[in-house]
Amino acid sequence: MLEYIAKRTLGAVVSLFIVITLIFLLLRMMPMEGYFGAEYDKLSEETRASMLAEKGLDKPVLTQLVEFYKNLLKGDLGKSWIFRPNYPIAKILEKKIPYSLKIGLISMAVSLLVGIPLGAMMARFKGKLGDKIGTAFIAIVEALPTAVLMLFVQLYFSSWFNLSLLFDKDNPSTWILPILSISLLSICTYAMWMRRYMIDNINMDYVKLARAKGVRGGRIMFLHVFKNAFVPMAQFLPGSVLSTIIGSIYVEHLYSIPGTGGLLIDVIQRQDNTMVQTLVLLYAAIGIIGMFLGDLLMALLDPRISFVKKGDDR
């Protein structure tokens, strides 16, 4: 068990290192004009060169990478170029992260608390009307492009329930739609997989044996099937952290929530390279940490885990 945790920790750290390096290098492959945004054509050759030198971009890529890591270890994320010129990115993020974190966590909690029981109920009453409606609903939510779906939510829910179209941190009712939008997709994903895993497990031999030894319906569902179905879900959880992230990028911008997701879109549109880099790294890091936590959770739930290698899961 300890060995497994150590291995996974090491794996996560290595992943983080590789991903950060890759993203850094990828961004250096961008065509030159990408560094200047819309003003590129107006600038003279010399100004461009001096601007690059000022930002340290004239040095070899490897030197830049080493610099970058040095600063990162010191907690220095660099400075914004265009969004707020020469303002430390760390300071910008400081104000933005709490919003994203709050909304993200609430959304995750909502999706878990709704999605898992929903999937379990659908499996329990498989083939009944409720299950059919649920399945159809999930199909539609899964099939519709996220962007279109969230637009619909914003457009219609706001008018049906008379909710504000924009976010206001002091007005709790304005939190409802963004959280609903972000969780909707995760709820459906959870419900769908939970239902599938439950149904898979219901048909397993051990459930037949449990029934044969006289265990009754509800007890089987909860003590035997639910737990077994939940184990692969646990591994799935971090993946949904990822989808929550993506959802929040879009939703935050849509509702003008002053969080990091909306910020990413802003800085992409304004071509602020350091900001894009930092935010992409931030999200990648959240992704890796999420996966790592999911693995730990699995190890806690499944006694087999310390014996099975990860690559051969399932």
Partner 1 sequence: MENREIILSVKNLNVRFSLRGKSLHAIRGVSLDVFKGESLAIVGESGSGKSVLTKNFIGLLDKNGRIDSGEILYAGMDLAKFTTEKEWAKIRGKKIAMVMQDPMTSLNPLKTIGWQISEALILNRGMKRAEAKAAAIDILKDVGINEPQRRYRQYPHEFSGGMRQRVVIAIAVACGPEILICDEPTTALDVTIQSQILGLIKTLCRKYEMTTIYITHDLGVVANVADRIAVMYAGDIVEIGTADEVFFNPQHPYTWALLSSLPQLGEKGKELYSIKGTPPKLFGVIKGDAFAPRNPQALKIDYLVRPPYFEVSPTHKARTWLLDPRAPKIEPPEIIKRLHDLEQEGEAGEADE
Partner 2 sequence: MAAKKPLFNRQMRRISELDANIQAGLAREEAERAKQAEAEIETVDYTPEQIAALDPALFEPAGFNEEDAERTGYSNYSYWASTFKNFWRNKVARVLIIALIAVLLFAFLQPIFPGQHDPVTINNDPETGIQLMNLAPSSEYWFGTNAIGQDLWARVWAGTRVSVFIGLVVALSDLVVGVIIGMIWGYVRKVDKVMTEIYNVISNVPQTLILILVSYILRPSITTIIISMCMVGWMAMARFIRNQVVIFRDRDFNLASRCLGTSTFRIITKNLLPQMVSVIMLQTALAIPGAIGDEVFLTYIGLGLPTSQASLGNLVEAGRVLMMQKELRYQLIFPAAVVAFITIAFYIIGNAFSDAADPKNHV
Chain contacts with partner 1 (rule: CB under 8 A): 204-206, 208-217, 224, 227-228, 231, 301-304, 307
Taking CB under 8 A as the rule, does residue 151 contact partner 2?
yes
As measured in angstroms, the least distance from the Cβ of 162 to partner 2 is 15
Taking CB under 8 A as the rule, does residue 160 contact partner 2?
no
Query: Measured from the CB atom, is 113 or 204 closer to partner 1?
Result: 204
Considering only 192, 280, 296, 305, the residue that binds partner 2 (CB under 8 A) is 280
Distance CA 42, CA 246 (A): 35
Q: Are 89 and 275 in contact (CB under 8 A)?
A: yes
Q: Single out the segment in contact with partner 2 by CB under 8 A; choices: 73-81, 98-106, 119-127, 243-251.
A: 243-251
Q: Single out the segment in contact with partner 2 by CB under 8 A; choices: 62-70, 100-108, 239-247, 297-305.
A: 239-247
SS3 (DSSP) at 304 = coil
As measured in angstroms, the least distance from the Cβ of 108 to partner 1 is 24
38 CA to centre of own chain: 31
Taking CB under 8 A as the rule, does residue 217 contact partner 2?
no
Distance CA 280, CA 27 (A): 11
As measured in angstroms, the least distance from the Cβ of 201 to partner 1 is 10
* Residue that has been written with the tokens 């004009």 in this structure: 33
- For residue 78, the 8-state DSSP code is -
Q: Are 158 and 189 in contact (CB under 8 A)?
A: no
Considering only 9, 32, 34, 61, the residue that binds partner 2 (CB under 8 A) is 34
The one of partner 2, partner 1, none whose footprint includes residue 140, by CB under 5 to 8 A per kind, is partner 2
Rg (CA), the chain: 24
Query: Measured from the CB atom, is 18 or 113 closer to partner 2?
Result: 18
* Residue that has been written with the tokens 């879009």 in this structure: 250
Taking CB under 8 A as the rule, does residue 146 contact partner 2?
yes
Taking CB under 8 A as the rule, does residue 110 contact partner 2?
no
Q: Are 284 and 246 in contact (CB under 8 A)?
A: no
The one of partner 2, partner 1, none whose footprint includes residue 143, by CB under 5 to 8 A per kind, is partner 2
The one of partner 1, partner 2, none whose footprint includes residue 259, by CB under 5 to 8 A per kind, is none
Query: Measured from the CB atom, is 70 or 219 closer to partner 1?
Result: 219
CB atoms closer than 10 angstroms to residue 126: 15
- For helices 129-143 and 89-124, give the axis angle rounded to 10 degrees: 150
- For helices 273-301 and 2-28, give the axis angle rounded to 10 degrees: 160
CB atoms closer than 10 angstroms to residue 86: 7
Distance CA 15, CA 72 (A): 16
Distance CA 116, CA 96 (A): 30
Considering only 189, 283, 298, 305, the residue that binds partner 2 (CB under 8 A) is 283
SS3 (DSSP) at 277 = helix
Residues found near partner 2 in the complex (CB under 8 A): 11-12, 14-15, 18-19, 23, 26-27, 29-31, 34, 139-140, 142-148, 151-152, 155, 165, 242-243, 245-246, 249-250, 253, 264-265, 268-269, 276, 280, 283-284, 287-288, 291, 310-312, 314
